[in-house]
Amino acid sequence: MKKYMIALYIRLSLEDAKTDSMSISSQRSILREYASELPEYANAELMEFVDNGYSGANFERPAVQELLDLVRANRIDCIVVKDFSRFGRNSLETGYFIERVFPLFHTRFISVNDDFDTQKLRGDTGGMEVAFKYLISEYYSRDMSVKTKTAKYLKFQRGEYQSKICPYGYRKGENGRMVPDPETSEVVQKIFEYAVNGMNATDIARELSRQQIPTPGEHKARKGIKTHDVSRTHGMWCNSTVLRILADERYMGTYVIGKREVTEIGGHKMRSKAESDWIKIPDHHIPLVNEEIFSKANASIQRFKIPNRKKHDYLLRGKVICGCCKHALHLANGTSYRCRFSSTIPSLDCYNIHIREKELNQLVYELLRKQFQVAFGIDSLADLRKVDTVAIRQADFDRQIFELQEEKRKLYEALVSGRIPLPEYKDQKEQISEKLLEVQNTKAVVMARLEAEQEERQHQRQQMDISRMLTESDGLTSELVDLLIDKIYVYPDKRVDIAFKIRDSFTTHD
């Protein structure tokens, strides 16, 4: 006998952690006590999902995503939360899941403090009271975001707020402020000294690599701060790293903050701000170089910027990667792809790796023909008939839903006019609501089937298009590259591996 699966969802944001009633243990206690009183509890299995330290403004939370995946797999029968805000503070997304997704998969949703249970609603949405609770939660989230942002910027302007990670050359002091790092501050000073003495960025990078000084990313990784993938650096400094250090005003003791901002409330996507909007506070912390050295170093470093430089487009632009060090290959002189990263490191396997552009284009084209050489057959007329049948059924469901809604409206008019008593009204309304819920759920299943069939038709059309393009073309084209190729990995023996964009969507042949 299948176990009745009850999911207890708990969320605690950083702001909620200040309130004992919102703690994880408090929420767990409330939910378990409520679940134990459900009639289904005797044959139930409890699952617990906890998002600790996540905002409810969006659904980009690991535990809630795991829960929703199980709902879509028809493995969750009931979800219990402390209140609506624990599940989500975005009214549109929260309402979508409660009113659309959960009914589709016959998942019951219970909000304990809100006295909300979808099983009691019989297809209704909960009315204005529930809608207002959605909105209150969302506006609370937005108000809290604005207040937090305002407080943060006030700290910025006072020079109080510090980033979690200090720039290379500094570390956190006992008071939380930036102080020179004895392990790396001398390296920064050495970089400025080299620049003042006339060395360019390439020479400085080579000299630091020769001295086997760990790169900033490697230094952080050794300290347990793994914010960058350092597997490809091989202990080699890059010109861009040197230039970034030389241009950083923080090494003069100037506090620079507020370079980026989130694109929307509750989101994680960031965008850069104009430098005029940055916050800069001079003499904020101990400088590693004075203003004179900073200016001389930057004046001596040449940064070649060609205004309105015309980009040379070629078929495999941004697609060709070194198979050894995983750096992008550079199209030198418009004729051959070369690995610039290994050009000065004879010890690397990809040292002096190169392949001519025409040779690579032809090789990739032949590989594509081999992978997709079988023409894809499809009975398009039969497929269209199937979709038309589903569309007709969908229209029939819409008609049934409209008729049932009309019955509810007329039934309510009969109650108001006194033609039927209240007990009879409630009985008939419950019967109509049950029929309406059944039709709506069936329609949702049919819609899902329709979308799946439409996707399959699109998939088959795409297969036919690829087969046609490969048959009609004499060589590699931009359409084939954009449609099929994600990355191309080139190895020293001119062996080529292709990472396809749609590998799982097609039957390929090695």
HEC-encoded secondary structure of 262-285: ECCCCCCCEEECCHHHCEEECCCC
Q: Where are the beta strands (DSSP E) in 173-226?
A: 178-180
pLDDT tens for residues 169-222? 988 877 767 889 999 999 999 999 999 998 888 888 888 888 888 888 888 888
Overall fold of domain 4-145: Rossmann fold (3.40.50)
What single letter denotes the amino acid at residue 118?
T
Domain range annotation of the chain: 4-145, 170-300, 312-510
Q: Which residues contact 496 (CB under 8 A, 6 or more apart)?
A: 360, 363, 364, 367, 488, 489, 490
Q: 354-375 pLDDT, tens per residue?
A: 888 888 888 888 888 777 664 4
Q: Is 342 in contact with 322 (CB distance < 8 Å)?
A: yes
- Report residue 161: phi and psi, to 5°: -75, 130
Measure Cα distances from 66 to 85, 118, 412 in Å: 18, 21, 42
Give the C-alpha separation, 215 to 232, whole Å.
Answer: 12
Measure the CA–CA gap between 333 and 319, rounded to whole angstroms: 17
Fold of 170-300: Hect, E3 ligase catalytic domain fold (3.90.1750)
| Tens digit of each residue's pLDDT, the chain (510 residues) | 678 999 999 998 766 555 555 688 889 999 999 999 998 898 899 999 999 888 777 788 899 999 999 998 889 999 999 988 888 876 667 777 887 788 888 899 998 988 888 888 755 544 445 444 544 455 455 555 555 555 555 555 555 545 567 888 988 877 767 889 999 999 999 999 999 998 888 888 888 888 888 888 888 888 777 766 666 666 778 888 889 899 888 888 887 776 666 555 445 566 777 777 777 778 788 899 998 998 888 887 765 444 445 555 678 888 888 888 888 888 887 788 888 777 666 777 777 788 888 888 888 888 887 776 644 444 443 444 444 555 666 778 788 888 888 888 888 888 878 888 888 888 888 898 888 888 888 878 777 777 777 776 766 666 666 766 776 677 788 778 887 888 999 888 888 888 887 654 444 333
